[in-house]
Amino acid sequence: MEQYGTIRIKLDELIRKAGISKNKLSHRAEMQRSQINHYCNNDITRLDTDVLARICTVLECEIGDLLEFVPPSKESPK
Q: What is the pLDDT of residue 75?
A: 54
Looking at domain 2-70, its CATH class is mainly alpha
Q: Residues 73, 21: contact at Cβ < 8 Å?
A: no
| Residue 74, C-beta contacts closer than 8 angstroms, at least 6 positions apart | none
**Using 50, 70 and 90 to split pLDDT, how confident is the model at 3?**
confident
Residue 10 CB: number of other CB atoms within 10 A? 17
The pTM of the full predicted model, rounded to 2 decimals, is 0.85
Per the model's pLDDT, the better-predicted residue between 76 and 25 turns out to be 25
Mean pLDDT of 46-52: 95
Distance (Å, rounded) from C-alpha 4 to C-alpha 62? 24
pLDDT for 78 equals 46
